[in-house]
């Protein structure tokens, strides 16, 4: 069961790049009104929703901690958050997460960059230190 949840997160952040690959013109255009200027500070804390490959993950971020709840899971994947600038941060799995999810590579660091913002959502690009793949996904703030 834990392997399934980890696989989902891996798909969410890294492997699914083939589905949401960058086009030659840049990041995918968001649905709805034209994007607004970036104001990423509003995304430092809150509850967010990502749906990718028909699977939804709820993300709860507060201070230097992020809890990811893949669809159907009550056990979070816990990350330490470190902001590099207003729109870029890194996620490092905690020791407890590495114990619960042994398939996560020990020195994993995910880098998340918020690249576009819309009225109800934003686009982020996620990369990992162990692959060249990048994933674009649309994120909705729900709280």
Residue 59's CB is within 10 A of a number of other CB atoms, namely 21
Q: Where are the domains of the chain?
A: 2-141
The predicted-structure confidence for 15-57, as pLDDT tens digits, reads as follows 333 333 443 446 556 565 665 678 899 999 999 999 988 999 9
Distance between CA atoms of residues 51 and 7, nearest Å: 15
Nearest to 141 by CA among 124, 125, 122, 113: 122
pTM over 0.85: no
- Three-state helix/strand/coil letters over 70-128: ECCCCCCEEEEEEEEECCEEEEEECHHHHHHCCCCCCCCCEEEEEEEECCCEEEEEEEE
The predicted-structure confidence for 60-81, as pLDDT tens digits, reads as follows 999 999 999 999 888 899 999 9
């Amino acid at each position: 069961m834990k392997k399934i949840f980890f696989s989902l997160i891996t798909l969410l952040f890294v492997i699914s790049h083939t589905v949401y690959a960058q086009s030659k013109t840049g990041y995918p255009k968001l649905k709805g009104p034209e994007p607004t200027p970036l104001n990423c500070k509003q995304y430092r804390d809150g509850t967010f929703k990502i749906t990718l490959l028909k699977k939804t993950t709820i993300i709860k971020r507060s201070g230097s901690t992020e809890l990811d709840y893949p669809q159907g899971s009550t056990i979070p994947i816990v990350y330490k958050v470190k902001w590099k600038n207003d729109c870029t941060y890194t996620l490092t799995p905690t020791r407890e997460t590495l114990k619960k999810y042994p398939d996560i590579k020990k020195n994993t660091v995910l880098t998340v960059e918020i690249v576009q913002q819309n009225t109800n959502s934003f686009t982020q690009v996620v990369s990992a230190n162990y692959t060249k793949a990048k994933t674009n996904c649309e994120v909705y703030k729900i709280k």
